[in-house]
Structure 1
């Protein structure tokens, strides 16, 4: 024990302020002895704070980068987007009166190897994402290719052929060289360069095929732009700046968007500004940040259990020191201040380490993954996000350490003489209980207040502490069962069972740490497996093998005959299709609708719509009646039930959709459920046929092969279709699912990395719990060895003990993880089916069992080599 003057510990001999300074000085001097016993404490605090600070700083960096690069990504200050039609002459004139206007057209099509290519077989085809640009492209930023020529020269017409630049993926698939020709629609193009980057890529969303950039004059020659074709026209408006070429101020942008709505109320265009260039990407950042923040908080709170164990171990080791101080006149309050000061000093070190690591994370991400992030990621140090880690770290430390520290207040002087053989339990005083409760409530309030989704944060808090209570109950149940288990004839097993229920047993701590970690691992593993299963595996015989888009009315009979001849065994379905945007429900504009989270996507752009005389296949009528086949009255509409509920739409309400620049109002006649899992032709909105009489539209079709491996037949059909119908877009579902799965793999990588933080915290807590019980283990080992126990017998008892605890906890962790993952998959993600992966769960349980045994042995094997003499002299 560090020396301390009698005046310091003698009650009332010093003024309160001097006494406090003396106690704090003593605490600081006492820590000069090193960090023994505080390593796990520091690791738990540092890991949680690093997770919080790192996640928040990375999210802020992404959001700020998106805002800073908004004008470049959008291609201007404001973008007006139209589907299936170009801007009218009046609309275009008005836009040009506001500033400089550039335009692009985007659509999907099939690219084919031109006849006569020497390196690849004729007829090879691929789905591509076309971007047709005007002569001003790019108005902001630069396009990067592997050519030194400017983009305008690469796309220009030379002789009888226009040029294109394309993603490397298309070059690789077709083995293209500069000067090779490929066909898109009815036109041939010359491949002139590989596309490296485009400044406005993020604004186009996720593509299902390689990007191909061409001139707008070239798009006209393809024959792809027909009435009703799914082509999107985007008009980028750059407003004049105030001075010196500066960008226009935000009020000027707001003024233009408001004027556009007033002058063209039925235009139906989607308006985006440089401040919300990619709402979906921003929302994904927020959702992912919310998840990562919860994982970080999980690490912090799970680490809090490690903090409690470490502080409890610290108090246990210092009992003799505290008893000595009391014998010299120190009060219980003095002991509390000294212990709290030492813990807070250690916490400050851990928080500082965590903050430094968290602040470094954005810079590490920028260096390692900057090339694959879709915006130029700008790492920086953000004071607010840093402060949040500090607040969480301090509150967590206090919430989990005030209890053990408060019990130090009543350490008796007799601990000097009898503590090794007669440990006295001390009840927590009311004042410390109130302090601990207040800080815990403040921590909960802080988590909820700083969360972007307070409802989710509240559910998280309830679930986390509910899980801790359940694990406490599981630990109590294991102790009760062990206490009532008949005595075994096997000495090692009998010792193991006794260790589980003896006073001061580690059962509760081990079950809590291992159970939380395993439940989290099982939950995330099951969610990941279910998402991948539904992405990669459709329903055989029900999930379409192909989608065919942009089928013109005049092509429909010939198209049907072609499929019947080339795929007689396939099930064919064809429906009319248009694109429309929900603009109003009754008297409420779409932007003012307070939609539920699972239905908000319907308001975020245009949707596919159709009409039908009968209930579509894959749909089930739930409310209302379907219209007669010969219905001629006012327009009616059928809406998917869950979407209607999420938007607050009921039978008899009126919705207004904008189609081809015209607002169409229809009365809600019925609601239906849709089996989205089949991935077939399903629509949120289905109208009565008379609603769009005479409106130009195309058809959407599917071809579904029966069960079995149909890869060869699908590839052959794709080749024949692209040759016979060059303007029809063929989407092979398997390739699309593979592209989506690739994106999911990247997200899953980040999720697993974040989850590893929480699992690391759980392992630290487990190690800390085992370390906290070392003193009791030492004296158990000494007594047993004195009575004749061998090292082998003691090791056998330890293996039995930790195997029993690991197995019992694994059962709970797997069950809890299964229930949690089922709830998330079916109730939050709204996937149609949940499948429990027994293999993954069994592997997780086995890992938990092995970890518990190995850590248990690692923490006690050194104890078994202790000589009894030295410890017996202390008894």
Structure 2
């Protein structure tokens, strides 16, 4: 330390502690802090990396999420297809409804349905998401096709039927080229072009099949529109300037209270996508916060090591009259200044993240990603970084405050063993609560955030207990003959041992990695093999009531011995619960999906298969009283429903109120025919509807399945066939994309753990150097010391790896079995990989740091003991 004569003169008279005025004391502390920082960042590189990584992860995630949300909001009208969107299921708007919408502004009508597109010779077919458009489409945005021609020309009438455009994947599935003819229902279509971009794609929901776009006239010629056909009609409206969309929505609901309209404005163009963005960004933010908290352990280690290296300077300060508070302020200034550098580097990562990911996101989500700087995201990351650095720095700094100068001169181990003042510990705890409170406040799902943070806090406590258990076991281990092993066991439980630091730093990252890896393994296994083995082979949709018996006969002819289950199906939306409008209710996170959008509903005189009564009684087969409904038990409980409550559903523009007669436990896992709501048959007497069926073919093969589908599609052109395997493959691809992001997030947490591990080992090198010198003086060879240290690191790594596997397995079991209600299977590959990674990291980093100190000359070290 360097100081002026005047400063040291004042110090001898106690002026370091008693300089008049807070400003003067602060300025003096700042001057000393800046002078000491002239020595560079030695010992703080891991500190900076920990802060940078955590802050960068939080800033990047929230910046990218902000970019996506901003893009959706900016292009809301193009995504929605208009300023307003009215949607109806299974029916078109009435003349009165149509007149109301036409009076609002320019209207474009579209319709979407799923149907089978087949080659004219019937040799092959593919499921397609059919979109029907009129001449006004699109009101906003641009449809991009190859070749670049007006959409009206591409969809116009041709010599054999009508034109159509389709996504490239439909051509690939059918093995055809543009210009080829296909059959849709009873109509021949000429594929006149490739559909490259559809501006309102996100407003239509998730597509599991290629898009086929046709005109309204073509739909009428297909014969696909039958009573009860599963078709969604959408009316997009371009409002004149000055018209408030929200007022138009309220007026529409007042004029047509039983219409069953689902209305969205451009501000809420794609609510499901927005919810997914919020949920995923919340999860990644929490993982980034976990990485930052793990990095906080590295901050504490680095500060402790730095304070230990400055013990003579601190002793000098105190000998010259500096108070403990003054010492803490000096070093806190240095720590927070360095934390500011780390935060700044992390913010740079957050700033460049949107620019790096913009093009990648555009290839997944058809929204222009205009990257910019997002101050809100950067501010959040900055606050998290400052609070974390301060919380973890206070603990080692607080121990330094009350250490007397004599102890600092004498104690070779530093000031880490001094008692902690409650004020500093309380401040650290208060900061931790502030971090948790901010995370919960930001979260869209408070419960998930609380569970995540609670789990992280519990993991810290458990890891601390595990470290104490390892030390306890080492202390009580029997004496062994091997000198390296005896030294290794002694190092595990001696004062100042690395046990706690290694277990805490590496354990959390490995546990998170194991948890996510097993969850990913179980999801893929369940969808790829478990569900596929239990699920039916095919779903058939839009079987007309008059065709159900011929359909059964055809299936029996094509696949004798197969199992065909069928049930009538309508679409309806819950509008009221116990008379209360669901639009004004606070929808719970669990079970809330039942109230969003339309649900499939059915009726039955008897309890359906794949379900069993859990509460209440079923109605008689000849029941003719007020409408009754059976509700799914789990979803009903999540919504707070009970037997005797009422619900109102809107079906085909008519509100039907029914009383809940019972609850059913439903076996969703086998993907059979199941409905949240099953009504008494009299509830829908005379309502037009279609049938839904599933087919399981024993000893099926690819060729047998293809022949059955071809024959059914040719015999019943209006029936839509969904092959379950293809649907599961689509779900698997979505999970693969999510899993990639989750693995990256887990890798960030693991890298943070590795940095903390490296810092913990580096922080212990000073004590190791003393041990090595003393042992070498007493006759120990370098080989003996290397064996002892390697054995110690191996034991710690093995214990930490075993704990991570056990804790990760327990956490994954809870998520998979309890939350997801799926079979949990332990993946031994994950366990073995975790153990290897743990051993490699601890032994590798440990020996890398130890090897340098083994060559330390004895004389300089012994003189300072």
Output the TM-score relative to the length of structure 2: 0.97
1:761 is aligned to 752
1:861 is aligned to 851
1:801 is aligned to 792
Residue 563 in structure 1 maps to residue 555 in structure 2: yes
Query: Could you report, residue by residue, the CA deviation over 1:109-165 in whole angstroms, capped at 9, with x for unpaired residues?
Result: 0111123xxxxxx52111000001001111111001121211111111122321111
Query: Could you report, residue by residue, the CA deviation over 1:409-458 in whole angstroms, capped at 9, with x for unpaired residues?
Result: 23433356533379783112343334333333333333333333333333
Counterpart of 2:405 in 1: which secondary structure? coil
Residue 785 in structure 1 maps to residue 776 in structure 2: yes
Residue 831 in structure 1 maps to residue 837 in structure 2: no
| Alpha-carbon distance in 2 for matches of 1:734, 1:429 | 63
Unpaired stretches in structure 1, ≥5 consecutive residues = 116-121, 243-247
Whether the aligned pair in 2 keeps the contact of 1:324 and 1:416 (CA below 8 Å) is: no
2:841 is aligned to 851
Which one of the candidate residues 666, 678, 681 is aligned to 1:686?
A: 678
2:153 is aligned to 153
| Alpha-carbon distance in 2 for matches of 1:452, 1:421 | 47
| Alpha-carbon distance in 2 for matches of 1:730, 1:309 | 61
Counterpart of 1:110 in 2: which secondary structure? strand
Counterpart of 1:102 in 2: which secondary structure? strand
1:420 is aligned to 412
C-alpha deviation, 1:704, in angstroms: 1.1
| Alpha-carbon distance in 2 for matches of 1:712, 1:848 | 48
2:694 is aligned to 702
| Alpha-carbon distance in 2 for matches of 1:154, 1:414 | 90
Alignment map for 1:333-482 (pairs within 5 Å): 333-414=325-406, 417-420=409-412, 425-482=417-474
Q: Mark the CA change 1:187 to 1:421 in structure 2 (over 3 Å): closer, same or farther.
A: closer
| Alpha-carbon distance in 2 for matches of 1:50, 1:528 | 25
Q: Mark the CA change 1:54 to 1:422 in structure 2 (over 3 Å): closer, same or farther.
A: closer
Whether the aligned pair in 2 keeps the contact of 1:322 and 1:411 (CA below 8 Å) is: no
C-alpha deviation, 1:82, in angstroms: 0.6
Which one of the candidate residues 62, 79, 91 is aligned to 1:56?
A: 62
C-alpha deviation, 1:468, in angstroms: 0.6
| Alpha-carbon distance in 1 for matches of 2:263, 2:238 | 14
Counterpart of 1:194 in 2: which secondary structure? strand
| Alpha-carbon distance in 1 for matches of 2:111, 2:416 | 79
1:79 is aligned to 85
| Alpha-carbon distance in 2 for matches of 1:599, 1:540 | 25
| Alpha-carbon distance in 1 for matches of 2:8, 2:729 | 75
Q: Mark the CA change 1:269 to 1:226 in structure 2 (over 3 Å): closer, same or farther.
A: same
Q: Decide which moves more: 739-748 or 861-870.
A: 861-870
Which one of the candidate residues 5, 8, 14 is aligned to 1:6?
A: 8
| Alpha-carbon distance in 2 for matches of 1:738, 1:468 | 39
Q: Mark the CA change 1:24 to 1:407 in structure 2 (over 3 Å): closer, same or farther.
A: same
| Alpha-carbon distance in 1 for matches of 2:585, 2:746 | 36
| Alpha-carbon distance in 2 for matches of 1:426, 1:691 | 76
| Alpha-carbon distance in 2 for matches of 1:598, 1:52 | 27
Alignment map for 1:510-525 (pairs within 5 Å): 510-525=502-517
Q: Mark the CA change 1:372 to 1:540 in structure 2 (over 3 Å): closer, same or farther.
A: closer
| Alpha-carbon distance in 2 for matches of 1:659, 1:704 | 30
1:111 is aligned to 117
C-alpha deviation, 1:619, in angstroms: 0.4
C-alpha deviation, 1:788, in angstroms: 2.2
Query: Could you report, residue by residue, the CA deviation over 1:146-185 in whole angstroms, capped at 9, with x for unpaired residues?
Result: 2121111111112232111111101122232232111111
| Alpha-carbon distance in 2 for matches of 1:340, 1:540 | 59
Alignment map for 1:720-799 (pairs within 5 Å): 720-799=711-790
1:714 is aligned to 705
Q: Mark the CA change 1:100 to 1:288 in structure 2 (over 3 Å): closer, same or farther.
A: same
Query: Could you report, residue by residue, the CA deviation over 1:800-847 in whole angstroms, capped at 9, with x for unpaired residues?
Result: 11121112122221221122222222333x323322223323322332
Residue 818 in structure 1 maps to residue 820 in structure 2: no
C-alpha deviation, 1:709, in angstroms: 5.9
C-alpha deviation, 1:647, in angstroms: 2.0
Whether the aligned pair in 2 keeps the contact of 1:320 and 1:415 (CA below 8 Å) is: no
2:205 is aligned to 205
Q: Decide which moves more: 409-418 or 675-684.
A: 409-418
Which one of the candidate residues 87, 96, 99 is aligned to 1:90?
A: 96
Whether the aligned pair in 2 keeps the contact of 1:541 and 1:705 (CA below 8 Å) is: no
C-alpha deviation, 1:532, in angstroms: 1.9
Unpaired stretches in structure 2, ≥5 consecutive residues = none
> RMSD of the alignment, in Å?
1.8
Whether the aligned pair in 1 keeps the contact of 2:315 and 2:409 (CA below 8 Å) is: no
Query: Could you report, residue by residue, the CA deviation over 1:70-91 in whole angstroms, capped at 9, with x for unpaired residues?
Result: 1111111111101111111111
Residue 40 in structure 1 maps to residue 46 in structure 2: yes
| Alpha-carbon distance in 2 for matches of 1:207, 1:135 | 24
| Alpha-carbon distance in 2 for matches of 1:423, 1:761 | 26
Which one of the candidate residues 601, 615, 628 is aligned to 2:607?
A: 615
| Alpha-carbon distance in 1 for matches of 2:359, 2:20 | 56
| Alpha-carbon distance in 1 for matches of 2:413, 2:127 | 78
1:584 is aligned to 576
| Alpha-carbon distance in 2 for matches of 1:602, 1:8 | 74
1:130 is aligned to 130
Q: Mark the CA change 1:424 to 1:188 in structure 2 (over 3 Å): closer, same or farther.
A: closer
Counterpart of 2:363 in 1: which secondary structure? coil
| Alpha-carbon distance in 1 for matches of 2:540, 2:712 | 10
Query: Could you report, residue by residue, the CA deviation over 1:278-303 in whole angstroms, capped at 9, with x for unpaired residues?
Result: 11111111111110111011011111
C-alpha deviation, 1:374, in angstroms: 3.4
Residue 65 in structure 1 maps to residue 55 in structure 2: no
Query: Could you report, residue by residue, the CA deviation over 1:527-570 in whole angstroms, capped at 9, with x for unpaired residues?
Result: 21222222222456641100011111222121111111111132
Counterpart of 1:370 in 2: which secondary structure? helix
C-alpha deviation, 1:664, in angstroms: 1.3
Q: Decide which moves more: 768-777 or 320-329.
A: 320-329
Counterpart of 1:503 in 2: which secondary structure? coil
Alignment map for 1:483-502 (pairs within 5 Å): 483-502=475-494
| Alpha-carbon distance in 2 for matches of 1:440, 1:644 | 37
Query: Could you report, residue by residue, the CA deviation over 1:300-319 in whole angstroms, capped at 9, with x for unpaired residues?
Result: 11111110011001001111
2:312 is aligned to 320
| Alpha-carbon distance in 2 for matches of 1:503, 1:641 | 57
Q: Decide which moves more: 409-418 or 345-354.
A: 409-418
Counterpart of 1:42 in 2: which secondary structure? helix
Output the TM-score relative to the length of structure 1: 0.95
Q: Mark the CA change 1:465 to 1:636 in structure 2 (over 3 Å): closer, same or farther.
A: same
1:303 is aligned to 295
Q: Decide which moves more: 836-845 or 31-40.
A: 836-845
Which one of the candidate residues 595, 614, 621 is aligned to 1:629?
A: 621
Q: Decide which moves more: 9-18 or 763-772.
A: 9-18
Q: Decide which moves more: 415-424 or 63-72.
A: 415-424
Which one of the candidate residues 825, 832, 835 is aligned to 1:842?
A: 832
C-alpha deviation, 1:59, in angstroms: 1.6
Alignment map for 1:253-268 (pairs within 5 Å): 253-268=245-260
C-alpha deviation, 1:678, in angstroms: 0.2
Whether the aligned pair in 1 keeps the contact of 2:413 and 2:767 (CA below 8 Å) is: no
2:107 is aligned to 101
Whether the aligned pair in 1 keeps the contact of 2:537 and 2:695 (CA below 8 Å) is: yes
